[in-house]
């Protein structure tokens, strides 16, 4: 059983329950304006996370507000590099203005999924993070192209799983276009996360067990069930005597 794990959520995306979630999580991935948010909301979210003692991270996206950054499209590695560098560079400046430090980076939506299986895009993201701050942590799926690129370029990582998403037999997330993409029952989700921590596997939609590694657990903040999911997950982890704490950037 893993004894220490991070609990993160994607925030600053326009949902009305960010404050409640910040009371429960240990890391906040804050939208950088390209799929949701604007400079004012980013700064407000950073300050709110700081007040709660929650580790603050940038959540950069493809330039796609129309589709909330969740639609894959053709994009070059050079475009990804400049998009991510721009977003996390501005985010880092707003953190400094708020008197805090950016702790991590987690790509959003389609960008995250594309980079998980495309080495060129993965390397572009890693190079962008390194160009801004070599001490940042990159949230990645285990054994993905994103993790491989980060390890090769010596960027710290935290292996991420999703409490509220279903998995394919190859370990990827079930596409959101499918009706079974999301879990709706927080008790079921918490039980599945405990199994991930205890056995190192997750049950895929075809019934098979897929190996998985967990250092940080995500609950999406934009769903109506988000607060209930995070509350139940935190309750269950604490009942299992798991310490909930964020990964810390290098000094």
With CA atoms as reference, report the closest residue to 84 among 138, 41, 40: 138
The pLDDT of residue 85: 98
d(CA 211, CA 197): 11
With CA atoms as reference, report the closest residue to 176 among 100, 76, 103, 67: 67
d(CA 176, CA 186): 18
Environment class of residue 99 by beta-carbon count within 10 Å: exposed (0-12), middle (13-18) or buried (19+)?
exposed
The pLDDT of residue 174: 94
d(CA 177, CA 10): 20
30-39, 222-231, 238-247: lowest mean pLDDT where?
222-231
Backbone angles phi, psi at 50, to 5 degrees: -60, -45
The pLDDT of residue 115: 97
With CA atoms as reference, report the closest residue to 57 among 103, 96, 11: 103
d(CA 91, CA 73): 24
In this predicted model, what pLDDT tens digit does every residue of 92-144 receive, in sequence order? 999 999 999 999 999 999 999 999 999 999 999 999 999 999 999 999 999 99
Average pLDDT over residues 46-70: 97
Chain centroid to Cα 240, Å, comes to 23
| Percent share of the chain, pLDDT over 90 | 90
The pLDDT of residue 225: 82
Whether pTM > 0.85 for this model: the answer is: yes
Environment class of residue 177 by beta-carbon count within 10 Å: exposed (0-12), middle (13-18) or buried (19+)?
exposed
| pLDDT over 90 (residue 50) | yes
d(CA 122, CA 155): 12
In this predicted model, what pLDDT tens digit does every residue of 64-83 receive, in sequence order? 999 999 999 999 999 999 99
- Residue pointed to by tokens 């404050």: 19
Q: Which domains does the chain have, with CATH numbers?
A: 4-244 (3.20.20.370)
In this predicted model, what pLDDT tens digit does every residue of 178-193 receive, in sequence order? 999 988 899 999 999 9
Average pLDDT over residues 20-47: 98
Name every residue whose Cβ is closer than 8 Å to that of residue 109 and which is 6 or more positions away in sequence: 35, 61, 62, 68, 69, 70
């Amino acid at each position: 059983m893993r004894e220490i794990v991070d609990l993160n959520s994607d925030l600053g995306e326009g949902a009305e329950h960010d404050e409640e979630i910040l009371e429960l999580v240990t890391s906040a991935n804050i939208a950088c304006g390209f799929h949701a948010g604007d400079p004012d909301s980013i700064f407000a979210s950073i300050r709110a996370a700081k007040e709660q003692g929650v580790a603050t991270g940038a959540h950069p996206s493809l330039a796609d507000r129309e589709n909330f950054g969740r639609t894959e499209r053709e994009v070059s590695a050079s475009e990804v590099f400049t998009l991510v560098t721009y977003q996390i560079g501005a985010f880092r400046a707003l953190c400094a203005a708020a008197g805090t430090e950016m702790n991590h980076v987690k790509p959003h939506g389609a960008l995250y999924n594309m980079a998980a299986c495309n080495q060129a895009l993965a390397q572009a993201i890693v190079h962008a993070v390194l160009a801004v701050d070599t001490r940042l942590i990159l949230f990645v799926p285990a054994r993905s192209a994103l993790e491989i690129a980060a390890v090769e370029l010596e960027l710290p990582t935290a292996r991420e799983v999703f409490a509220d998403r279903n998995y394919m037999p190859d370990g990827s997330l079930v596409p959101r276009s499918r009706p079974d993409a999301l879990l709706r029952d927080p008790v079921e989700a918490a039980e599945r996360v405990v199994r991930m921590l205890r056995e190192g596997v997750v049950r895929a939609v075809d019934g098979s067990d897929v190996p998985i590694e967990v250092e940080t657990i995500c609950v999406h903040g934009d769903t109506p069930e988000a607060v209930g999911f995070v509350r139940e997950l935190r309750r269950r982890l604490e009942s299992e005597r798991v310490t909930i704490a964020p990964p810390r950037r290098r000094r």
